Amino acid sequence: MWIKICGLNDTQNAREVAQLGPDAIGLNFYGRSPRSVSIEIAAKIVSDLPENVEPVGLFVNHSVDEILRTCRECAIRTVQLHGDEPPEQLAELASANPDLRFIRAYRLGEQGFAALTVQLERCKELGVGLDACLIDAKVDGMYGGSGKQAPRTVIRSEYRYDEWPPIVLAGGLNAVNISQAIAEVRPWGIDVSSGVESRPGVKDIEQVSSFVRSARGRLEQKPFTE
């Protein structure tokens, strides 16, 4: 099970979290988020990470130049696009830096996966490969971090597991419900932020430890391949 702890913006807190065994940590560069991090602090966090913990940059409607510059200055190779970025932007990023890996976030609501179907078909036309799709809950006015659960029955019944990129499940996860969520959705990976916090941006070490242990008790999956 690929585990990502997202929304870290403090070097000491990130260092402590990284020692608990996640596969990745998320660095949120969306300025309106209470979990946002500066490029300077993010670079420091990345420099302190163990080699087996992957830094993931989370972007919301940033320009191609902003994303490339941030990844370069922070030594980030995995980009999570969490806004309204079109497939054409992914193609431009991939062309500018072929070493980048992409997680496409999708906020699942009443419309189901109709919009994601269109996006994935367009990515295929453009030759853009996605390493994963992160499925979060759709909450009006928010791009994530709401703590709301994505509708698991819809994911399980409508997501094309055999055709689409691997699922990273997000939204309302915590140490108490993660085992059940994994059993219901059977994701490739999981992503948690507010569910292991003492306050926005500050991860509670005991909660993170419990979350990782609970998740590790489920299906084992390999992290991103080189």
Q: Which residue of the set 6, 74, 123, 133 is catalytic?
A: 6
Q: Count of H helices and E strands in the chain? A: 8, 10
Span 93-144, pLDDT tens digits: 999 999 999 999 999 987 899 999 999 999 999 999 999 999 998 876 656 6
Q: Which amino acid is at 100?
A: L
Which residue carries 């940059």 as its tokens?
57
Question: Is residue 226 scored above 70 in pLDDT?
Answer: no
Q: Is the dihedral of CA 125, 140, 10, 166 positive or negative?
A: negative
Q: For residue 85, give the amino acid letter.
A: E
* The total number of structural domains that make up the chain: 1
Residue 43 parent element (H or E): helix 39-48
Residue 222 confidence (pLDDT) above 50: no
**225 falls within a domain:** no
Whether 132 maps to a domain, the answer reads yes
Within a domain: 221:
no
Kindly state the tokens that stand for 132. 């994963």
pTM for this model (two decimals): 0.92
Residue 224 is assigned to a structural domain of this protein? no
Distance of CA 221 to the CA centre of its chain: 16
Is residue 168 helix, strand or coil?
strand
CATH number for the domain that contains residue 76: 3.20.20.70
Residue 225 has pLDDT above 70, yes or no: no
Q: Could you tell me the residue range of the domain that residue 74 belongs to? A: 2-216
Q: What local confidence, expressed as pLDDT, does residue 220 receive?
A: 47
Question: pLDDT by residue (tens digit) across 57-92?
Answer: 999 999 999 999 999 999 999 999 999 999 999 999
Please check whether residue 137 is in contact with residue 108, taking contact to mean a CB–CB distance below 8 angstroms: yes
Residue 99 three-state SS: coil
Mean pLDDT of 184-213: 94
* pLDDT computed for residue 146 by the predictor: 57
CA–CA distance, 213 with 226 (Å, rounded to integer): 25
In a domain? residue 185: yes
Catalytic residue among 23, 131, 136, 191: 136
Sign of CA dihedral 134, 36, 74, 124: positive
Angle (nearest 5°) at CA 133 between 4 and 127: 125
Measured distance CA(196)–CA(202) in Å, rounded: 9
- For residue 93, the model assigns a pLDDT of 98
Residue 222: inside a domain, yes or no? no
Q: Say whether 74 is catalytic.
A: no
In the block, which residue shows the tokens 């453009």? 126
Q: Is the pLDDT of residue 224 over 90?
A: no
Q: Tell me, what's the pLDDT at 184?
A: 94
Residue indicated by tokens 């699942």: 108
- Closest-CA residue to 130 (of 154, 96, 82, 164): 164
Q: Among 65-69, 147-151, 218-222, which stretch is predicted with the lowest mean pLDDT?
A: 218-222
Question: What pLDDT, in 10s, does the model give residues 18-56?
Answer: 999 999 999 999 999 999 999 999 999 999 999 999 999
Asked if residue 66 is part of any domain, the answer here is yes
User: In this structure, are residues 10 and 1 in contact, taking their beta carbons and an 8 Å threshold?
Assistant: no
> Would you say residue 226 lies in a domain?
no
Verify whether residue 131 is a known catalytic residue.
no
